[in-house]
Amino acid sequence: MTTERREALDVMHRRLAQTGMGSREIIAHGEPVAEILRAERQENVDLIVMASSGKGRAQELFVGSTSMGVLRSADRPVLLFKSLDHGPLLEGALVPLDLSSCPEIVDRAVPALIEAGLRKAVLLHVIPSTHYSMDDDQRFGHVADMLDRQRDKLAGAGCEVDTHIHFGTVSYNILEAAGELRSSIIVLGIHRRSLLREVALGGNAEEVIRRSPLPLLVVPCER
């Protein structure tokens, strides 16, 4: 290990100690994704925290292959940072929800953020313009009911909770809402779709993860 890396690890240990958190290090040799996932399971962690490993002119917006590999296969939520200059993390969370079942988001992930000091959460659903029309009152009403039920679960937890319904392209609207609402973090659920229990990041989820300039808390959904 180089002197520079040793000093960086020592600084991280000291900073964690200042917050009251204990820490220890594992130095592994091998393929990064496999070693991170092995440590996740051996240590039985609650959360994986990673920085984007991308390189290039838009480094803060790029998700490298190691990060994407971990996101696709991790059993635990992953907190992904795109930039060190992200500001306060718990000012406001944008929480995109769909109509499929992902109770882990509202039942576990958002309450954990609230307990850590989250001030505001916005529950968002985007009705895709490729499948519905603006005149589909039944769909809009169904979505509104779903969002209200999820908001009720979080009522009284000490965090302001709001709901938004957008119409159009899903990934575009999530990213636009994050900017308009001045969100500090996006909480995104991803669904497992294979018998091998790997996370399939396709379409909207992957687009948001790759393009978001904000930190993301990516939560694996069991169903």
Q: What is the pLDDT of residues 107-122, one digit of tens each?
A: 999 999 999 999 999 9
138 vs 198, more confident: 138
Determine the angle formed by the axes of helices 65-73 and 32-43, rounding to 10 degrees.
40
User: Of all helices (H) and strands (E), which one includes residue 133?
Assistant: none
Average pLDDT along the chain:
85
Local structure of residue 184 (DSSP, 8 states) = S
The pLDDT of residue 20 is above 70: yes
The pLDDT of residue 10 is above 60: yes
Query: Looking at the DSSP assignment, which residues form a beta bridge with residue 189?
Result: 219
Neighbours of 20 (CB within 10 A): 6
Domain segments of the chain as ranges:
3-81, 93-215
Taking the model in full, what pTM does it have?
A: 0.86
The pLDDT of residue 211 is above 90: no
Of the listed ranges 45-49, 100-104, 123-127, 155-159, the least confidently predicted one is 100-104
CATH number for region 93-215: 3.40.50.620
7 vs 92, more confident: 92
pLDDT of residue 65: 77
**Buried b / exposed e along 156-169 (16+ C-beta atoms within 10 A):** eeebebebbbbbeb
Residue 48 Cα to chain centre, angstroms: 11
Q: Do domains 3-81 and 93-215 have the same CATH topology?
A: yes
Task: Show the tokens assigned to 17.
Answer: 């100690």
In the block, which residue shows the tokens 């440590």?
A: 39
101 vs 155, more confident: 155
Q: How far apart are CA 143 and CA 126, in angstroms?
A: 9
pLDDT of residue 54: 52
Architecture category of domain 3-81 in CATH: 3-Layer(aba) Sandwich (3.40)
